Amino acid sequence: MHHIELRSHLGQEVLDDILGLIEAATRIEGHRPVGEHKYSHLAVGALNWVGVLAYEGDRLVGYAHTRWNAWTGPEPPRPRMAVEIVVHPDRYDSDVATTLLQETRNVLARAGGGLYYLWVHRVEDANETLAARLGLRVQRELAFMVRPMNTLHADVPLPEGVELRPYRERVDDSEFLRVNNAAFEGHPENGGWDEAEFADRRSRDWFDAEGLLMAWQGTRLLGFHWTKWHGHSSDEVPAHEPVGEVYVLAVDPAVRGAGLGRSLLAAGLRHLYGRGCRQAILYVDCANTGAVALYSSEGFEVVSREVCYEDSVEPAGLESPTELLRPA
């Protein structure tokens, strides 16, 4: 039997248990069972958050990470909760995941109800997951695409008058944010960045300014390809040969259609090849058919999907723990 605890603060011992649980699942699944944004949120202390923990005795066997997004709708405001669930590999065949899912829904209900989003990673069939069996709807799908890089990618010349150079600390920040936010307007993860968000991403251990390639026309940024290098061994996945990621590829909407995206993609792949990567990966919204077509034409193939399921949770009519449930 397992019991459930709700926490809004992590002591170091509990944090270590959660990170250990994630690492155990990572070793079995071959990928981290929570997304980068939520993992980073957890690692720095998880503010604006409710953690749901499942224990068997004093052993942590499951964890649900929540993230509160902006209040939406008329008064009284209703929150939006994003959830990711981790279960210890020894308990995959138990009801721990179902219990965690229900408990997070109960938290949202007690907060006044609202929109519930559940992310499930590396999905082969979106209709065959626990979330689908419990009646949650598919809200969004990201394709996880892979291609080999056995040879150096052919160079694709930039449009005339465009110069490619790596990111310069602080000097390029305002133009980066302008293009990023224009290219990803309304995007739930990449859109609406400010200086603090950009600085946070640059503070990660994997950040390399040389891998953020920016296409300039004079003093105007037209687009960029932010690459990510995954080394031989990391806490994300088991030991492996270096893998390159198309982390963010963005083109100013004002110059789309000029072939800049393909040129930037080629430049980034050439950069990653030079760093020893012989495989490239990326995540792309399946609804972005233009981007999917570009990547497919350059040899990327869909391996699996990251699926966001949604549901609407009604108020429970119970207490409203405002301090615990204040959104980010």
Give the least confident one: 124-128, 235-239, 240-244.
Answer: 235-239
Answer whether residue 303 is part of any domain.
no
Identity of the amino acid at 306: E
Which range among 84-98, 223-237, 299-313 has the greatest average pLDDT?
299-313
- Mark whether 166 and 137 lie in a shared domain: no
Does 131 score more than 50 pLDDT? Answer: yes
Confidence at 323, pLDDT banded by 50, 70, 90: very low
Query: Does residue 305 contact residue 120 with C-beta atoms inside 8 Å?
Result: no
For 102, other C-beta atoms within 10 Å of its C-beta total 14
Q: Is residue 265 one of the residues assigned to a domain?
A: yes
Question: Residue 36 has what pLDDT?
Answer: 65
Domain region containing 99: 3-142+308-313
Confidence of residue 239 (pLDDT cuts 50, 70, 90): low
pLDDT of residue 181: 97
Q: What pLDDT does residue 325 have?
A: 41
Confidence band of 328 (pLDDT split at 50, 70, 90): very low
Q: Are residues 172 and 271 in the same domain?
A: yes
Q: Are 218 and 242 in a shared domain? A: yes
- Tell me, yes or no, whether 162 and 250 share the same domain: yes
Tokens of 175: 């133009």
> 113 and 15 in one domain?
yes
The confidence score (pLDDT) of residue 23 equals: 87
pLDDT band at 322 (very low <50, low <70, confident <90, very high): very low
Note whether residue 326 is domain-resident.
Answer: no
Percent of the chain with pLDDT strictly greater than 90: 57
In this structure, the answer to whether residues 132 and 172 fall within a common structural domain is: no
**pTM higher than 0.75, yes or no?**
yes
Could you tell me how many helices (H) and strands (E) the chain has, helices first? 8, 12
Q: Report pLDDT for 284.
A: 95
Task: Give, in degrees to the nearest 5, the angle at Cα 164 between 163 and 168.
Answer: 115
Give the domain CATH number at 163. Answer: 3.40.630.30
Does residue 78 form part of some domain? Answer: yes
Lowest mean pLDDT among 56-60, 150-154, 232-236, 321-325: 321-325
270-273: which pairs have CB atoms within 8 A and are 24 or more residues apart? Answer: 270/152, 270/153, 270/155, 271/210, 271/211, 271/213, 271/227, 272/149, 272/211, 272/227, 272/229, 272/244, 273/149, 273/152, 273/153, 273/244
Q: Is residue 155 part of a domain?
A: yes
The pLDDT value given to residue 44: 54
